[in-house]
Amino acid sequence: MEQVFAGVSVQVNDEGYLTDFSQWTREVGEDMAQKEGITMTDKHWEVINYLQEQERNEVPLTIRKIGKSGVVNIKEFYALFPNGPLKVSSKIAGIPKPVSCI
Amino acid sequence: MKQLLILGAGTSGTMMSNHLRKTLPKKDWQITVVDHQENHYYQPGFLFLPFDIYKTSQLKKSIKKFIPKGVNLIQEKVELIDKDQDQVSLKNGEKLKYDILIIATGTDIAPREIEGMLGDHWQKSVFDFYTFDGARNLRNKLRKWDGGKLVVHISEMPIKCPVAPLEFAFLADSYFKNKKMRDKVDITFVTPVSGAFTKPKASKELNYLLEQKNIKIVPDFNIEKVDADNNKIVDYGGMEVEYDLLVTVPTNMGDDVIERSGFGDELNFVPTDKATLQTKVKDNIFAIGDATNIPASKAGSVAHFEAEILTENIQRYINGQELKQEFDGHANCFVETGDGKAILIDFNYTHEPTTGHYPFPNFGPLSLLKESHMNHLGKLAFRWIYWNMLITGKHIPFVSATMDTDGKDLEPEQEITH
Ligand SMILES: Cc1cc2nc3c(=O)[nH]c(=O)nc-3n(C[C@H](O)[C@H](O)[C@H](O)COP(=O)(O)OP(=O)(O)OC[C@H]3O[C@@H](n4cnc5c(N)ncnc54)[C@H](O)[C@@H]3O)c2cc1C
């Protein structure tokens, strides 16, 4: 399905996650965040960069891993991305929805 | 004489010692197994013990009984694996050299990981059922409990036997109905996952059962702490759930020896190739069962399928052949749904659990992803199979290590991401 962010049309699945990461830009992320009610700050971007790097290295993401990342602790993570921070931040980062393993 | 060393004599280590004693020539290979425990526990029985369905004596037997003749058993704790020296140190100071190492140290609960979980209330109003002691103490508690808010809770994934907590909730419903006090008990299932199970299709089926049994579900709950003074659990987002009796599955972690040896992930699981079971630590170190980080369920059935493939790969490794990339994540679990019924699910890395029949296509007698009494009998029969066939490495007829797609109502294959 197609959706428009920051004036650009991108492919998303039925939960709103990008299906093609090459369509992601900072502007797309920023607009997605805004629609989730989040105003991006440097700290937000630091988390997004970390998530994207983990995804590139095929490391499965969990809340615990984020807490140990050195980027944010879990409390801060919830403060930055309220209501299901891992799901929300992954969406903004343009990566697939993390499935907590099996 | 070459040395093959197995760490852990639980489900996986015992199976491997039995398989390998049959396949490796006695004159060339000495096999040694190390485990500090005296007893081998039938862990799937921990689910039934709290409800007085099994007796404690049916769940533990001496480890020695299952280690075959010709295998050396050392009952001592493993302290360190020195991969550079190909050597393992034991707590009593003894050092063991190896040519091939198999790590089968499993996973255990780590309640210390959650703030407030341990304390005076531990095993009084906050219980686990993943250990023998926990399950037994919980049984004693339930025998005299007069009702209130029962919260069945998973701290974080992955955990071994991921369906066990849900089964616990179903069995609790049955148990209190039989005691004629279901109306006095309010059951809530609290999970960090978005539904009743991690695989969407099975989750749908299981959510429906929760509704039918009047069990509430609180999904997406990432626990921050147990507030025992106020009888509630609190999640990082500020959500709170009150309990009178909390039955939790604490964080599951690999043994400390993995961390001390410097190669575990953040939960002390051993980085392992998901198709060959060779570790990423060193070529002569393999891992099996709950101790690995592979994206398969942590279950005895998985360990059973892995054991067949690992036995072959150890032989290939010894012969200098390429390892078989054969393990497909095959898991096969009975899910007790209470009232004498169960569901059977069969899945692997790429196929979600689906409906159909097992092990014979179109016939069964077990039906996949549907409740039946036959499946419940299958689950109970598993205890006998476990003690008499599974851990002693006998082949279980009709059950293959890799998943069979015949008899299943499958949708096109798709990679499931973890
Ligand atoms: C409540 C519950 C229900 C379950 N139900 C099912 C089910 O229905 N079906 C199913 O297939 N599976 C089920 N399981 C899961 C199954 O029991 C495990 O997946 C299986 O036992 C894993 O085998 P393992 O050999 O990897 O680990 P384990 O059997 O746990 O063995 C690990 C061994 O290593 C030893 N060890 C650890 N560290 C050290 C050390 N440092 N030094 C020496 N020894 C050490 C331990 O003492 C232990 O004996 C259930 C588990 C639980 C808890």
Interface predicted TM-score of the whole assembly (ipTM), two decimals: 0.81
A65 touches chain B (CB under 8 A): yes
Contact B198 A101 (CB under 8 A): yes
Contact B79, B90 (CB under 8 A): yes
Structure-token pair, residue B20: 């390998």
Task: Report which secondary-structure segment, H or E, holds B21.
Answer: helix B11-23
What pLDDT was estimated at residue B399?
A: 74
For residue B295, whether the previous peptide bond is cis, meaning omega lies within 30 degrees of 0, is: no
- In terms of pLDDT, which residue wins out, B407 or B378? B378
* Residue B217 CA, ligand 1 centroid: distance in Å: 28
- In terms of pLDDT, which residue wins out, B10 or B382? B10
Contact A102 B297 (CB under 8 A): yes
Task: Report which secondary-structure segment, H or E, holds A52.
Answer: helix A42-56
What pLDDT was estimated at residue B280?
A: 97
| pLDDT of B329 higher than 80 | yes
The span from the CA of A23 to the CA of A27, in Å, is 11
Testing the interface with A: which of B235, B249, B297, B417 to mutate, by most A Cβ within 10 A? Answer: B417
pLDDT digits (tens, 9 = 90+) for A61-89: 888 889 988 999 999 999 999 888 998 99
Which residues of chain B neighbour A82 with C-beta distances below 8 Å?
237
Provide φ and ψ at A2, rounded to 5°.
-105, 145
B159: nearest CA in chain A? A102
Helices B300-318 & B11-23 angle (0-180, nearest 10): 30
Give the pTM: 0.93
Testing the interface with A: which of B201, B236, B259 to mutate, by most A Cβ within 10 A? Answer: B236
| pLDDT of B409 higher than 80 | no
Structure-token pair, residue B59: 């769940």
| Cβ–ligand 1 contact at B260 (below 6 Å) | no
> Tokens 């492919």 sit at which residue?
A11
B73 touches chain A (CB under 8 A): no
* Residue B296 CA, ligand 1 centroid: distance in Å: 15
* Residue B304 CA, ligand 1 centroid: distance in Å: 12
| Cβ–ligand 1 contact at B221 (below 6 Å) | no
Decide: helix, strand or coil at residue B140. helix
Testing the interface with A: which of B154, B166, B222 to mutate, by most A Cβ within 10 A? Answer: B222
A100 touches chain B (CB under 8 A): yes
Which residues of chain A neighbour B267 with C-beta distances below 8 Å?
64
Percent helix, strand and coil across chain A, each to the nearest 5: 50, 10, 40
Q: Whose CA is nearest to atom 6 of ligand 1?
A: B44
pLDDT digits (tens, 9 = 90+) for B36-68: 999 999 999 999 999 999 999 999 999 999 999
B218 touches chain A (CB under 8 A): no
Provide φ and ψ at B245, rounded to 5°.
-135, 120
- A61 part of the active site: no
Name the region of B10 (left: φ>0; alpha: ψ -120 to 50; beta: rest): beta
Q: How many CA atoms lie within 13 A of B213 on its CB side?
A: 28
Contact B95, B76 (CB under 8 A): no
What pLDDT was estimated at residue A3?
A: 94
Which residues of chain A neighbour B224 with C-beta distances below 8 Å?
74-75
Question: Maximum CA pair distance of chain B?
Answer: 66
Catalytic residue (one of A1, A99, A101, A102): A101
Structure-token pair, residue B229: 């003074």
Which residues of chain B neighbour A62 with C-beta distances below 8 Å?
156-157
Which residues of chain A neighbour B331 with C-beta distances below 8 Å?
102
A85: nearest CA in chain B? B237
Single-letter code of the amino acid located at A18:
L
For residue B359, whether the previous peptide bond is cis, meaning omega lies within 30 degrees of 0, is: yes
Taking alpha carbons only, the member of B274, B410, B408 closest to residue B344 is B408
In B, residues 231-270, which contact A (CB 8 Å cutoff)? 236-237, 266-267
Most confident of B136-150, B188-202, B372-386: B136-150
pLDDT digits (tens, 9 = 90+) for B362-381: 777 788 888 899 999 988 99
| Cβ–ligand 1 contact at B346 (below 6 Å) | no
What pLDDT was estimated at residue B72?
A: 98
In sequence order, the β-bridge partners of residue B226 are B233
The span from the CA of A70 to the CA of B95, in Å, is 37
Contact B170, B206 (CB under 8 A): no
> What number of other Cβ atoms are within 10 A of residue B356's Cβ?
21
Q: Where are the alpha helices (DSSP H) in B81-224?
A: 132-144, 164-178, 200-212
Taking alpha carbons only, the member of B342, B325, B338, B418 closest to residue B378 is B342
Contact B331, B296 (CB under 8 A): yes
B77-97 average pLDDT score: 98
* DSSP summary character for residue B390: I
Binning pLDDT at 50, 70 and 90, where does residue A100 land? low
| Cβ–ligand 1 contact at B205 (below 6 Å) | no
B82 touches chain A (CB under 8 A): no
| pLDDT of B416 higher than 50 | no
